[in-house]
Each structure stands twice: as structure tokens, then as C-alpha cells.
Amino acid sequence: MNNNIFRDAVRDDNGKFSVAYDAPKTLRSIRLTDTAWQSLGELADTLNTSRTDIIEQWARDKETPQEIILKAINQFIEDKRQEYGSNPAQKGEFKYSRSWDYLLQFKSLIENAPWELLEENQEL
């Protein structure tokens, strides 16, 4: 990991990363594998932030990968619907082609049973 990446990150007068949230932070201890620690570091480097802020954001957002994918698919569909509706030459209902049918089937699979796509058992 290249610590020089953090030179542009926002820091306080003591050289520590600035508080990203209003609530005070307390020192905690967690156990992570080397792989998890390295992945957090790489993500933090990419986002020019700290591992702590990555964990904090994840805990506050509480979005699962499934929810993120569904949000993206729903936004894509809504954008296409609005794009269709803004064309005065096209009137009537939004029509689906075979490609749209596949997209909607994929969306339904992600909503209901994403593990089937990966041929894995559901883990709670």
C-alpha cells in the first residue's frame, strides 16, 4: 500500500484524518484476516480516505450488494422510461422487447433469489 496516496486526504492539525461524522469515535478492536485488511486498505486508497471511514460508511449505509444492484437496475429502467416518454414522436405505453424481458427476469431473480444465479445455497 502506498501511504503517499493519503497526502491529499483531509487531516486535522495533529495530522490525523478529519472526523467524517459528527459523532465522536471510540477506539475499538476487531479481528480481520490479512486479506480483509489489505482489501480495506486498497479501497481506502482508491477513495482517498481511511479504513475507519470505509467501515463507518458501510455500517451507516447498510446497503447489501443486492440492494445496490437493484437500485441501479431500477434507475436504468426509469431513465429509459423517461427517455421514451420525452420523445413526442412516440406515444402510448412503454413497450418491452425481448432484451427488456431478459432485463426484467434478471431484476426479478436479483430481488427474489440472487444465489440461484450463482448456483449457491442461500446463507442467512
Rounded CA separation 108/68 (Å) = 14
Give the chain's radius of gyration (CA, Å): 21
41 band by pLDDT with thresholds 50, 70 and 90: very high
2 band by pLDDT with thresholds 50, 70 and 90: very low
> Cell 496516496 belongs to which residue?
5
pTM above 0.85, yes or no: no
Question: Mean pLDDT across the stretch 63-84?
Answer: 78
The confidence score (pLDDT) of residue 7 equals 46
What count of Cα atoms within 13 Å lies in the side-chain half-sphere of residue 110?
Answer: 17
Domain ranges of the chain: 29-62, 65-117
Burial of 69 (0-12, 13-18, 19+ CB in 10 A): middle
Rounded CA separation 114/60 (Å) = 24
For residue 15, the one-letter residue type is G
Give pLDDT tens digits for 88-97.
Answer: 555 555 566 7
Question: Mean pLDDT across the stretch 41-49?
Answer: 91
